Each structure stands twice: as structure tokens, then as C-alpha cells.
Amino acid sequence: MPAKTKYLTTSGWKRFSKIIATIFGAYAASVLLHIVFIKNMENDAVALLTSAFSIYFFWVGFMVMVYLVKRVWISWAILLSVILISSSLIYI
Amino acid sequence: MKKLKGLGNRAYNILFHTHTVAGIVISFALFVIFYAGAFSLFRHEIAQWENPDFRQEHKKDIDIDGAIEKIDRAYGIDFSQRTNVILPNKKKPVLSIYATKATEDSTERAFVSAYLNPNTGAVQDIEKPVTTVSDTIYHLHYFRQIPVIGLYISGFVGLFFLFAIVTGLLIHWRNLLTKFYAFIKEGKWKVIWTNAHTVLGVIGLPFQVMYAVTGAFFGLLTLILLPIAFLQYGGDIDSVTSKVIPFRAVKVDPHAPEVRHLSLNELTEKILEEDASYELTNIQVLNYGREDAIASFTFNSGDNVHSSGTYVFTLIDGEIQEEYSMRPNERKNGMAIIDYVFGLHFARFGGTLLKVIYFVLSMITGFMIISGILIWRTARDNNEYTYKQRLFHHKVTKWYLAICLSMFPAFALIFIANKVIPIEMLDRTTYVNSTFFIGWLAMTTLGIFWNKYSQQNRNYLIMGGILSLIVPIANGIATGGWIWNMWNTYQWVAYIDMFWLFAGLSALYFSFFVLKVKVTSDRPVALESSKKVVDEALQLAKS
């Protein structure tokens, strides 16, 4: 029953990179995305309150994405583009 | 029954692996959180059981101003900061005050936390409590005993629990309908554990998702509030919180002239004149005794999530400040989210029955966590793994089971310790806590010497069963609070004793009459040595 190893990542640095991406990359992407959402909502209090729990769903969603995407650099590219686009929208 | 379309092979195996790794890493911490959390649902009831101060009549008309002045005289309160007054209720019939200590040196903030016994007038420091059963269990629930990072650890455990739930649901997806009623207790152990894990996982799904998210919310709140405050609100945490709690935005002048203003008692009466059924829960007051004094009264008008209300009055004239106030049942859903989160997490919306259901679901989740560990181990107990790997799997499983299963006797032990250590003894909470933690550690260590998981299970049940039966007896002898005495006065004291009586009797019944422990060991047998035995036997047979 254990997962078949032929589908799993064997390279050590790729695994490390994925773990960093799930914890920090997914966190940054999720939080920044929500700040854009709060900034652009008329009622920012309600947006803030909704973020308080939806951030975790997005965080976990990005985590699953990191593992499902075949190549590590593509998951990083997705996360970084979310981070960069959100950041630029926040500073505009 | 039709199978649902599941994941592809690659996705299935990858998510399966992440589910296993995330699950094994958080498993025992998650078990501790759920087990301690299940008991913490009843922490106010347990407080009444453990502390004689809370076993007294709930006085309705209480002098709030007198209480504040009394605690101010004893500790010195800095009224320019928020002073929070928690009013007595039936389960906790004392008036608690949380405030900032008045100090000459303004660089350091010290706090006042004390409660006043309205019947005797005695003041008790909350930081140096008389008893600590419910507090210790509640603090264990979010690892407060670990300095600084404990709360964050519990938050991350919640987050990865959500991750494990999502991946678990995805890999189980194709069997979701066919295995919905797989309450099967025959077959190989691997199949039994798997069915238990998936069936209980699906039944507990809404409950577990709710706890994963709200748990992460409480544990990681700082992590998400800090970036929002810095990037959106110019680094001002107060402006974030005042979005949710308008009263936080109120600013007062610490040098405003001292005056005699309306008393909090008078304003309380004014609120009760509107509707006598309102139940005041707490009062927050700023600059008490000065011209711009202002107070926020929170009360409950019923049992639903929208029934709480907040009235803010300036104390000099008793005028209601509408911009900070919120009438009951008028709040929009969007603004009530924090109430929902608290209500869901602390089971505040459905009375005692709901708490009992939550307790049972928490125990089911605990069982699910343990069955997950056992699947992990059983699925690796074959020749595809080296002897060293298999021994490692066995040892990890043994340690995890020892930590988790010894919580039952350890919890009974802290309840006993609270009654056996005399109530007048100085620093008694230190002794109660050390009895609990050292006892838990000792029982865990003992479990390492049992190589059979079923033996661990049965022995901990016997230990827990015996200790559980002592709990009501210890309570009866130490405080006179026998079940039949408390039945008509403080029912919760009787209920908790009855819970331990029931837990003890059923644990002993199951361990002696239901569970069967075979004498063999779960420790894997080294292939080399077994090969050697076979070779020697063959040699013997030949000669």
C-alpha cells in the first residue's frame, strides 16, 4: 500500500525546495493575494474577517499545487508570479 | 455501488505520500491537541470540580465598582489602559479583573489578573492559582508550556492537519461511496485499520475541517495579522483590531481631570431596564475615575450566535455611544465571523449536548490518528523493507502509541493530584503540574518496554481504569463532594465524578473481558537471524 516510489521525487534538493515552497512560498502567495482582496473591497472589515480563515484554505491549496505540478521550477514560477503580481497591485 | 472517478496514478501516489508524511509528522502532537481539547471543552465545569472557590452560590446583584476599587487597592491598576471585568456566572461565580499594573517605570508593562469572591470578599491572584487541573489541560491543548513557540507549533499542526485532510479526501475519493459503510472488523489488520481510518475520517470530516481551520486561526493569527497590518494599515495592529472591535479605536487622555462619574452598577441597571433577561458577561473600561471615562458592556440576549450585544457608555453623562455599540441581533453575518469562529471552536452554540457530541467526535478523531499510525506501520511490515527500516517503524509506532495512550491514565492522575495535595499547601500547583508531567513521562517510558501494541493498549487501559476509579473517591474524601452530595447542588461536580467512574469501569471491563493480548511481540524479526535458525535446523535434520 505505501505510495509507489517511481512517482516520487528522489532528488534531495528538489524535496527541500518543495518543502520551502509549501511553507514559505504558499504562505506569502496566500497572504499577499488576500491583501489585494482586502485593499480592493469597499467593506474592508468584512474582507479582513473573511481572510482570517480563507487564507488557510488558499495556503493548503497552494501546498497541494506544489506537489501536483511535475516540475519544481513551474510550481515556484506559479507561486512567484502570484507573489509579484499581488505585491505590485498592493503598491500601485 | 458506483465508484467515483479518482485521481490519476501519479497524482494518487504523490498525494498519498504527502498525506503519509504530513500525517506521521503531526500525528502525536495532533492527538495531544485533540485529547486535551476534548477535556478543555468542559474546562469551566472542571474548574468548578477542582476549585472550592467556584462551588458557591452565584450572587446576581454584585457591586462592580466596589470590586474594581478593592482590586485596585490590592494591586494598583493603570486605568489609562483597558481594564477588563469578567462578571460572575453560574459555573464561575467570581468576578475576574484583567488590567495593566500601574508602575512608575513606563517602559515595562506588568499585568494585574485577579478574581474577587463576592460571597467572602477575598481577592485571589489568577497568576498564582489555588488549583490548576483545567488550566494545565487547556494550556497543554495549545502547548503553552513550551515558551514562545508553543502556540505557533499548535497552529502549524492545525494547518498541516488541514493539508492531511485535503490530501486524504483526494486519495480516498474513488472509494468515497463504496467504502462509506465499511464498518468491517474482519480480515487483515492492515484492512481493518484502513477501513477504520477512512470511515471515521469521512464521518468526522466537517468536524475535523472546522477544527483544522479554526485551530490554525488561533495559532497563527499573528503570522497573518502582521503582514496585513504592515502592508495595508501602515503597521498599526490596533487599527486592524478596531475594524473588528470598534471599542479598540477609543483613545483617552491619561491626564484628564479626576471626577466622580456614574458608577458601572448604575449603567448595568440601565441596560437591564431595557430587557431584564439580558445576561451581562463582561465590561471593558478605560480611564475609570476620570472625566473622559468610557465603558463597553457586552451581554447575551439569547443562545444564538448573533444574540450578543455591546453597549458603550461615556461614564460622565451615561450617554450611549452608538458608533461603538452593537445592538443584539443587528450584526451582519460578515461582521459576526469572529463570533462564529469562537462559537464553533469552543462549542458555544448548542448547550451541553453539543459539547458531549464534540467530545465523542474528538475521541473518534484520536482513534483515527492512531489508526493512521498503525496503517503506516502495518503497510511497511514486509520484506520490501530492510530489517533496520522495519525496526525503526516499530520503534516510532511504539513511542507514538506510548505517548498517546498514556494520556488517559495521566489525565486521571492530574485529577487525583489536585485532590490529594492539600489545598492550603504553598505552591501546590507546581506539585500538581509536576505530578502530571512526570507521571505522564514515566508511564510513556514504561510503555517502551512493551513490544506488543495490544499489550500497550490493554496495560494503559488498566492503569487508566484504576486511576479513574480513584478520582471520585479522592474528591469525596478531600472535599466532601461525593456524587450524592453534589447531585442537587453543583451538578457538574457530580457529572465529572460520574464520567471518571464510567470511564474507569468501562476501561477495566474492556481490558479484562474484551481485549485479547497474545504473547507474541510486534517487534520485527531479523531476516538474517531467522535465516540462520532455518539453516541450523536444516543442518540438524541432515545430520
Mutate which: B231, B236, B338, vs A, most A CBs within 10 A: B231
In whole angstroms, give the CA distance from residue B297 to residue B309. Answer: 8
Contact across the interface for A43 and B216, Cβ inside 8 Å: no
pLDDT at A32: 95
Cell, residue B542? 541432515
Asked if residues B85 and B59 have their Cβ atoms less than 8 Å apart, the reply is no
What is the band of B322 on the pLDDT scale with cuts at 50, 70, 90?
A: confident
Q: How far is A75 from chain B (nearest CA, A)?
A: 15
Q: Is the pLDDT of residue B316 over 80?
A: yes
Would you state the pLDDT for residue B528? 58
Q: What is the mean pLDDT of residues B193-221?
A: 93
Say yes or no to pLDDT of B443 above 90. Answer: yes
The answer to whether residue B533 scores a pLDDT higher than 80 is no
Q: Once rounded to an integer, what is the mean pLDDT over residues B47-59?
A: 85
The answer to whether the Cα torsion of B509, B511, B512, B514 is positive or negative is: positive
The whole-angstrom separation of Cα B194 and Cα B111 is 50
C-alpha cell at A18: 518543495
Residue among B296, B300, B305, B350 nearest B331 (CA) = B305
Taking the mean position of all CA atoms in its chain, how far away is CA B539? Answer: 61
Q: What is the ipTM score, two decimals?
A: 0.96
Identify the contact set of chain B against chain A, taking CB-CB distances under 8 A.
Answer: 9-11, 13-18, 20, 159, 162-163, 166-167, 170, 190, 194, 212-214, 216-217, 220-221, 223-224, 227-228, 231-232, 240, 243-244, 332, 334-335, 337-338, 341, 375, 379-380
Contact B335 A45 (CB under 8 A): yes
Of A3, A52, A60, the CB nearest to B217: A52
What is the pTM for the complete model shown?
Answer: 0.91
Residues in contact with B11: Cβ distance below 8 Å, sequence separation at least 6, in sequence order? A68, B170
How much is the pLDDT for B159?
96
In this structure, what are the phi and psi dihedrals at residue B112, rounded to the nearest 5 degrees?
-110, 130
